[in-house]
Amino acid sequence: MVVPSLLEPLLHGTPMARRRAMAKAITLLESTRADHRAQGDALLTELLAHTGRALRLGISGVPGVGKSTFIEALGLYLIAQGLKVAVLAIDPSSTVSGGSILGDKTRMEQLASQEHAYIRPSPSSGTLGGVAEKTREAILVCEAAGYDVVIVETVGVGQSETAAHGMTDMFCVLQLPNAGDDLQAIKKGVMELADLVVVNKADIDPRAAIRTRTQITSSLRIMAMQGNPKHAQNDPQRWHPKVVTISALKGEGVQDFWAAVSEYRRLQSANGELAARRERQALAWMWERIDAGLRSAFRQHPAVRQLLPQLQADVVAGRIAASTAARNLLAAQAGQAPQAIR
């Protein structure tokens, strides 16, 4: 059994032993072998009682916005406060290229050398759903190992931001101080996900940074007026999304950022929203994995495999309605005779 040999150092080991056990546990959870998966599930179930105490922090932003520099500055700041910091990643490009935003060894060099930091690159295979699941499970490993802050980093591309939002307590979006970038984030609905917007590189053009901050603040206010519950105003018991300006390169603003995060955590813990968010996330995660499993079993069913190519061709050619084809395939999987379709 691999599980007890991992559990002991993970929960009670020296910092070094913990990090080694974490790496092994996450590798086990990333494995697609059935026996590893069963061991992984057993390990997760053991770990669960020791999870849930960390702050799960999502940090997103387009390439070039300065995520690595910011996360390194933040990580070093938090370690100086006596906290332990883990950095995980969701990188959709890594599923295609095998590369990863965190694969580059030169990134976050200073943070990586800290005893109380753990940095793990994005799982580099499978669908986004699969990558997201592995990252969710890795969060639990980090928490059980006693890490206080688990940062989930993601690039501002595709659905990875929704995935990162769906597994963190607080979702922060890094922005450059220019309007085009602002519009891009609004367009993609990222702004709607943001609990905190961070305007980075404020040192380069302080006036543009202030203008961007004003623009985003007004966007957030319009969203609030338009009834997004996250932005409901005039309730001092609730967190209202904010904008902070920083210069990660100069190390300026990290303290302000952390003050905002701490205020968020205090308010949302007191009003119960943090616990409610985690419950929603856990159930959504369960159903997402169920849907993925159902789809996978469906595609592998012999009767479906036999019928699918012809039915897909018929649908594309307009010889059968898509809904009729779907019903016939579902009936075939269920072992029923396909409906008479002449």
| Residue closer to a copy of itself, measured from CB, 50 or 242 | 50
Give the CA count within 13 Å in the CB-facing half-sphere of 40: 22
Question: How far is residue 143's CA from residue 224's CA, in Å, rounded to a whole number?
Answer: 33
Question: How far is residue 33's CA from residue 28's CA, in Å, rounded to a whole number?
Answer: 9
Give the CA count within 13 Å in the CB-facing half-sphere of 129: 12
DSSP code per residue over 277-326: HHHHHHHHHHHHHHHHHHHHHHHH-HHHHHHHHHHHHHHHTTSS-HHHHH
Q: Which residues bind a copy of itself (CB under 8 A)?
A: 37-38, 41-42, 44-46, 48, 51-52, 133, 136-137, 140, 180, 183-184, 186-189, 191-192, 219, 222-223, 225-226, 279, 282-283, 285-287, 289-291, 293-295, 297-298, 311-312, 315-316, 318-327, 329-330, 334, 339-342
| Residue closer to a copy of itself, measured from CB, 96 or 286 | 286
| Residue closer to a copy of itself, measured from CB, 93 or 312 | 312
- Residue 184 Cβ vs a copy of itself, minimum distance, rounded to whole Å: 6
| Residue closer to a copy of itself, measured from CB, 206 or 272 | 272
Pick from 180, 187, 199, 126: which is nearest to 161 by CA? 187
Total residues belonging to the chain: 342
The amino acid at 287 = W
| Residue closer to a copy of itself, measured from CB, 88 or 108 | 88
Q: Is 244 helix (H, G, I), strand (E, B) or coil?
A: strand
- Residue 194 Cβ vs a copy of itself, minimum distance, rounded to whole Å: 12
- Residue 333 Cβ vs a copy of itself, minimum distance, rounded to whole Å: 8
| Residue closer to a copy of itself, measured from CB, 69 or 215 | 215
| Residue closer to a copy of itself, measured from CB, 193 or 254 | 193
- Residue 315 Cβ vs a copy of itself, minimum distance, rounded to whole Å: 5
Question: How far is residue 231's CA from residue 197's CA, in Å, rounded to a whole number?
Answer: 13
- Residue 189 Cβ vs a copy of itself, minimum distance, rounded to whole Å: 5
- Residue 324 Cβ vs a copy of itself, minimum distance, rounded to whole Å: 5
Q: What are phi and psi of 69, to 5 degrees?
A: -60, -40
Do residues 200 and 72 touch, judged by C-beta distance below 8 A?
no
- Residue 178 Cβ vs a copy of itself, minimum distance, rounded to whole Å: 11
Question: Strand 85-90 relative to strand 149-155: parallel, antiparallel, unpaired?
Answer: parallel
Contacts of 319 (CB under 8 A, 6+ apart): none
